[in-house]
Amino acid sequence: MKSRYFVHLIYALTSLVISLPGVAQETDPDVSEDHFRTFQELKDANSRKDYFFTTPNRYRENSAYDWLDTVNVYLNSSVSTNDSTAIKDYQLMQAQIYYDLGDYEKSLALTKFLYDGIAQYDLGTKTLILELMDSNYARLELYDKQIEVRMRKRDLGLTKNVSFYDIYSNLGQHRKAMKDYMTEEKKEIAEDDFFAQAVYNNNIGNYLRLDKSTPTALTYYKKASAFLNVYFSDVINDKTAGEENEATILKGLISGNIGKCHVQLKDYEKAIPFLKESIDILNENNKGKFSSELIENTLEITECYLQLNDFEKATDYLSSNIQPKKPKNILKKNRLYAAYYDKTGNFESATTYLKRNIRIRDSLDATEANIKNQQLAAVVAQEVEYSRNMIEEQKKALEKSRSDIAEKDKNISLVFISLVFTLMGFAGLVYAYLKSIKNQRLIAEQKHIIESSLVEKDSLLKEIHHRVKNNLQMVSSLLSLQTKNTRSKAAIEALEEGKSRVKAMALIHQKLYQNDDLSVIEMQGYIESLINSIQSVYKKGGHNINITIDAEGVELDIDRAIPFGLILNELVSNSFKYAFPNADDNGKIYIHIRKTNGKEGFFEYTDNGVGLPTDTEERANSSMGIRLMNRLANQLQTNLNTDKTTDGVRFWFNFK
């Protein structure tokens, strides 16, 4: 596992060095699907809820407001029918849409209402409600309430522990947040979980960047990007559309974070490609959702263009439809407007935006520091309380462990007595074992003798088949010599037919001595070899026939393989001699054998030649080939059936 992990990692790091700063965005497999219409076509609230929460980038074709209007219609209909379950599902969807639009207060109000009846919901719905409440409290900076929600998730078994590191980071304690995060999360990540590795390194980079340790943060972001490239290139593990979308959004966030680092380092030209890539990815794959990261990246790229005196592009981004909600982003937007107007000589407008910032800062200075201190004190108090409860739980576990040990001590004497009897029994077993070893040696020696005998018999049997094959080849050679010394056309044809039949039998014995298993013939390979042997004779006549063999996986013993081979020899020879007199390019032969374990087998032979003559039945008694095939079919305990088709002829029979 480790070696595979390092191979992937080295590949990703190498590709990162030699590639451009951004990797082309993956194509969304769901682009062609109209999620909004699919949602409307579903029949009930539960299926709509499941589809809504499992559909990535659902606002691609229709805005969140369109979804909200439709959900409101369904909700009103459920209220009129007093369908309490459907009402709950649609209210939960409403809450998520308000969150996606950035209206966190409305979203929180709905989730708090749903939370009052959380005991009656299934685990999946409970998870959705609590995760949404957690996110809303984080956006509204109500961190003490956020911790209460996380404790509730822990009580329900949705999480193992209550985490505080992201809250500490939001309160400005980035180093403490990073330390806690590394302690709690690193041990939970598998080495081959490349997506989790990318998330981990991106988060560490965020804590370092916010703490102004920019060069180190940049290193972690590049590691995160490398892990994500490995994740995308891993074709062994299938990814759902949701997982692909989540990874693509993470790619956009990482690119934006790298760009922000370059801005902090005042390397504005290097920052712009990363910020552009991030904005494009978030616009495409997080469409319709409010994104503070998208706003921050837009403000950062505006600052880059202002610093580079490219006022046209700066105003393009600054005047785009971004509506920051965080005070720091509002202040930055006003500052950028002031800088733009200052650089372009419009000092009156620049002063207006600076005054706005002064008013906002005055308002924040009066309350922000005090509120943050109160929140920090509350979070620390809850963490202390949580730690105290964890210690109490550990104490209880320790006490239980001690009582278990005491109980075990009471049973030691019984165990000791049992051990004495066990030792006595063990001594008897040792004696029996030693005796059995002697018997096993005798059995092993006998087994070795038997196996040697079997190997010797297999070798002898292969030698017999080899000699039979050689003898049959000698017979074939004698027939060839006789043919050369015969002038009668009929005699030559008879000798050639006989030689062909001898070759078919010789090929059986050749296949047997070449196989590891001497009991069966693999028919696909045998038929191919037989066809090649026949073609070597009849293709001299100019025939160009397409032969299809469908006998893969069919194995027959020698008693059935020889009749099959002789029947096929007659059929294929007849097709080559009579079925295609014009030697065109459309000749086709199809050979099909199927045999299922424990069931009856089936054989079929067809060609698209001129077909059988009208007096076939009268010739059957005088034709040696037809009489031979019927007798061979009798050996297989079946009858050879003949069907005259509109295009050629078909022979078939069932066999056991």
**pLDDT number for residue 9:** 44
Query: Are 36 and 67 within 8 A, CB to CB?
Result: yes
Residues in CB range of 108: below 8 A, 6 or more apart: 133, 136, 137, 140
Hey, which of 10-19, 183-192, 368-377, 612-621 has the most confident mean pLDDT? 183-192
Over its C-alpha atoms, the chain yields an Rg (Å, rounded) of 41
Task: List the CATH code of the domain at 538-656.
Answer: 3.30.565.10
Q: CA–CA separation, 231 vs 153, rounded Å? A: 29
**pLDDT number for residue 464:** 65
DSSP state of 541: G
* Higher-scoring residue by pLDDT: 19, 83: 83
Residues 492-497, mean pLDDT to the nearest whole number = 74
Q: CA–CA separation, 88 vs 75, rounded Å? A: 9
Residues 629-652, mean pLDDT to the nearest whole number = 86
Residues 1-17, mean pLDDT to the nearest whole number = 41
Whether the per-residue pLDDT at 14 is higher than 60: the answer is: no
pLDDT band for position 356 (cuts 50, 70, 90): confident
**pLDDT number for residue 305:** 94
Class of domain 33-161: mainly alpha
Query: What pTM, to 2 d.p., does this model score?
Result: 0.54
Hey, which of 122-131, 353-362, 626-635 has the most confident mean pLDDT? 122-131
- Segments making up each domain of the chain, as ranges: 33-161, 419-518, 538-656
pLDDT band for position 576 (cuts 50, 70, 90): confident
Mean residue pLDDT across the chain? 81
Whether the per-residue pLDDT at 646 is higher than 70: the answer is: no
Beta bridge partner(s), residue 471: none
Least confident of 34-43, 276-285, 497-506: 497-506
Query: Are 593 and 601 within 8 A, CB to CB?
Result: yes
List, for residues 257-269, the tens digit of each pLDDT value: 999 999 999 999 9
- The residue behind tokens 């109000």 is 109
Whether the per-residue pLDDT at 569 is higher than 60: the answer is: yes
Hey, which of 277-291, 410-424, 454-468 has the most confident mean pLDDT? 277-291
φ, ψ at 602 (rounded to 5°)? -140, 135
Distances (CA, A) of 202 to 196, 216, 280, 326, 559: 10, 12, 19, 22, 71
Whether the per-residue pLDDT at 6 is higher than 60: the answer is: no
**pLDDT number for residue 207:** 92
**pLDDT number for residue 434:** 84
Residues in CB range of 334: below 8 A, 6 or more apart: 353, 354, 356, 357, 360
